[in-house]
Amino acid sequence: MTDALPDIKVLIADDQVLLRGSLSVLVDTAGDMTACGEAATGREAVDLAERHRPDVVLMDIRMPDTDGLQATRLITAAHPATRVLILTTFDIDAYVYEALRGGASGFLLKDTPPADLLTAIRVVAAGDALLSPGVTRRLIAEFARRPAPANRAATELDGLTLREREVLLLVARGLSNTELAAHLHLSPATAKTHVSHLLTKLGARDRAQLVIAAYESGLVTPAR
């Protein structure tokens, strides 16, 4: 008989009391995760993350006393193993880009079905990003609107092989590992290995950060 897997510790940060309570109940009844705390402000979220070291933080953006964007940056910088899922009311939220740029692993709509929310928590807790092609399109649109960044040099990609650059291009288009494998005629395991190498070489937390790296390095541009 094998030991049960440890619960995923989830911190819930939202300024709406009812929503926090509902999410806590949902998480606690999932069977493989537990709510380790509730925060009504960004500052409380940072403090509770320091105290409880959650695996995943469900983070609202608009909160008093340090908003969710700043709280995300502080938490992911201090605790690289903690993943942040942004909670937003609208999927066109202008802050999604900044949240991902600040270290978030993805975002959820507040009207996401409960089963999908729990699945999303498991996805990011396992180290992947919740980044759909739709989110990728919005990121591309945001890059097109912004001036060319000067803080990430193309030389960061010098250590990549030609195959890794090709994989990065496809990741930037929002392809999953399965789609990468089919497109490049590779096994799913090989595609996953290439993505893992990219994460290591570029110091990226997850696929969301790889997309940003691809555009900010100039490897791809929105026009392409």
CATH number at residue 162: 1.10.10.10
| Mean pLDDT of the region 190-201 | 91
Q: What's the confidence (pLDDT) of residue 1?
A: 41
Higher pLDDT, 224 or 179: 179
The predicted model scores a pTM of 0.74
37 assigned to some structural domain: yes
Q: What's the confidence (pLDDT) of residue 143?
A: 64
- Say if residue 170 is in the same domain as residue 212: yes
Residue whose structure tokens are 């010098």: 158
216: pLDDT strictly greater than 90: no
34 assigned to some structural domain: yes
- Say if residue 29 is in the same domain as residue 80: yes
140 assigned to some structural domain: no
Domain range spanning residue 20? Answer: 8-130
Whole-angstrom Cα distance, residue 114 to residue 23?
9
Mean pLDDT of the chain: 83
Angle at 202 between CA 173 and CA 213, to 5 degrees: 40
> Among 51-55, 131-135, 142-146, where is mean pLDDT lowest?
131-135
Percent pLDDT > 70 in the chain is 81
Percent pLDDT > 90 in the chain is 42
151-158 own/partner pairs: CB under 8 Å, 24+ apart? 151/216, 152/213, 152/216, 152/217, 153/217, 154/217, 154/218, 154/219, 156/202, 156/213, 156/217, 157/202, 157/217, 157/219
Confirm if 56 and 11 have CB atoms less than 8 A apart: yes
Q: What's the confidence (pLDDT) of residue 18?
A: 94
- Say if residue 118 is in the same domain as residue 182: no
What is the count of structural domains for the chain?
2
Q: What's the confidence (pLDDT) of residue 16?
A: 93
Q: What's the confidence (pLDDT) of residue 135?
A: 60
CATH number of 62's domain: 3.40.50.2300
- Say if residue 116 is in the same domain as residue 203: no
DSSP summary character for residue 155: G
> Of 100, 130, 160, which closes a domain?
130
